[in-house]
Structure 1
Amino acid sequence: MRTYITGGTVVDTEPEPHALPGAVVVIEDGVIVSVGPDPGPPEPGAEVVDATGRIVMPGLVDTHRHLWQAVLRGVCADRTLGEYLTLVLGRLAPAYDPGDVYAGVLWGALEALDAGVTTVFDWSHVQLTPDHTDAEVAALRESGVRAVFAYGHPGTDDAGRDPGAVRRMREKHFPAGEPGLVTPAFAAWGPVFGPPEAAREDWLLARELDLRISLHAMGEGPVERLHEMGLLGPDVLFVHVNGVPDDGLKLIAGTGGTASVTPEVECRMGHGLPETGRLRAAGVATGLGADTVTVVPGDLFSAMRAALAAENSRPGRGDAPRLTTADVLRMATIEGAAAIGMDDRIGSLRPGKQADIVLLDGEAAGLAPVHDPVAAVVGAGPAAVDTVFVAGRAVKRGGRLLGTGTSTGTSTGPNTGPNTGTGRARELAARSAERLARL
Structure 2
Amino acid sequence: METNDGRPADLPTDRPVLFRGGTVLTMDDAHTVLTDADVLVVDKVIAAVGQRLDVPEGTVEIDARGGIVMPGMIDTHRHLWQTAMRGYGADWTLTQYFVWYYLEHGMKFRPEDVYAGNLLGGLEALDAGVTTTVDWSHGLRTIDHAEAAVDALEEVPGRFVFGYGNIFAGPWEWATAPEFSNFVQRRLRGSDMLGFQMAFDVTGDPAFPEKAAFEVARELGAGVTTHAGVWGATNDDGIRLMHEHGFMTPETVYVHSATLSDDSYQRIAATGGSVSVSSESESSCGQGYPSSWAIRAHGIPVSLSMDTSVWWSGDLFSAMRATLASDRAREHLEAHANGDTVTNIALRAEQVVDWATRGGAKTLGLDAITGSLEVGKKADVVLLKNDSSPAMFPLLNPYGHVAFQAQRADVHTVVVDGRVVKHEHRLLGDHVAGARRSIEDTVGYLQSTLGAEGWAEGMSPDIPETKILDNPYMYTEYRSAATRGQ
Give TM-score, length-normalised by structure 1: 0.91
Q: Pairwise mapping of residues 178-327 of structure 1 onto structure 2 (< 5 A)?
A: 178-192=190-204, 196-218=207-229, 219-314=235-330, 315-317=333-335, 322-327=346-351
* SS of corresponding position for 2:39: strand
Task: Output the CA distance in 2 between the equivalents of 1:369 and 1:429.
Answer: 39
Is contact 1:191–1:226 with CA below 8 Å preserved after alignment?
Answer: no
Deviation per residue, 1:305-352 (Å, 9 max, x gap): 000000001131576952111111111010121112211211110111
Alignment-mate amino acid for residue 31 of structure 1? V
Superposition RMSD in Å: 1.8
Deviation per residue, 1:117-149 (Å, 9 max, x gap): 000011111111111111111100111110000
Unaligned runs of 5+ in 1: 404-419
Match of 1:4 among 11, 18, 22: 18
* SS of corresponding position for 1:264: helix
Task: Output the CA distance in 1 between the equivalents of 2:98 and 2:51.
Answer: 52
Alignment-mate amino acid for residue 203 of structure 1? F
Q: Pairwise mapping of residues 374-393 of structure 1 onto structure 2 (< 5 A)?
A: 374-379=399-404, 380-393=406-419
Matched, 1:373 2:373: no
Aligned match of 1:39: 53
Matched, 1:342 2:366: yes
Alignment-mate amino acid for residue 183 of structure 1? G
* SS of corresponding position for 2:384: strand
Give TM-score, length-normalised by structure 2: 0.83
Farther-moved stretch of structure 1 (90-99 vs 288-297): 90-99
Identity of aligned residues (%): 37
Match of 1:150 among 129, 154, 163: 163
Q: CA deviation at 1:53?
A: 2.1
* SS of corresponding position for 1:307: helix
Task: Output the CA distance in 2 between the equivalents of 1:287 and 1:358.
Answer: 18
Is contact 2:172–2:210 with CA below 8 Å preserved after alignment?
Answer: no
* SS of corresponding position for 2:195: strand
Matched, 1:174 2:188: yes
Relative to structure 1, the CA distance from residue 159 to residue 57 in structure 2 (aligned partners, 3 Å threshold; closer, same or farther) is closer
Task: Output the CA distance in 2 between the equivalents of 1:33 and 1:281.
Answer: 38
Relative to structure 1, the CA distance from residue 63 to residue 25 in structure 2 (aligned partners, 3 Å threshold; closer, same or farther) is same
Q: Pairwise mapping of residues 35-74 of structure 1 onto structure 2 (< 5 A)?
A: 35-40=49-54, 42-74=55-87
Task: Output the CA distance in 1 between the equivalents of 2:260 and 2:345.
Answer: 20
* SS of corresponding position for 1:284: coil
Which stretches of structure 1, 4 residues or more, deviate above 6 A after TM superposition?
none
* SS of corresponding position for 2:19: strand
Task: Output the CA distance in 2 between the equivalents of 1:241 and 1:2.
Answer: 42
Number of residue pairs matched?
A: 419
Farther-moved stretch of structure 1 (16-25 vs 135-144): 16-25
Aligned match of 2:475: none
Q: CA deviation at 1:46?
A: 2.0
Unaligned runs of 5+ in 2: 1-14, 230-234, 451-486
* SS of corresponding position for 1:21: strand
Matched, 1:85 2:83: no
Farther-moved stretch of structure 1 (107-116 vs 354-363): 354-363
* SS of corresponding position for 1:7: strand
Deviation per residue, 1:134-181 (Å, 9 max, x gap): 111110011111000010134243795342233122111124xx3241
* SS of corresponding position for 1:123: strand
Task: Output the CA distance in 1 between the equivalents of 2:258 and 2:171.
Answer: 27
Farther-moved stretch of structure 1 (182-191 vs 53-62): 182-191
Matched, 1:14 2:28: yes
The higher radius of gyration belongs to 2
* SS of corresponding position for 2:209: helix
Is contact 2:171–2:213 with CA below 8 Å preserved after alignment?
Answer: no
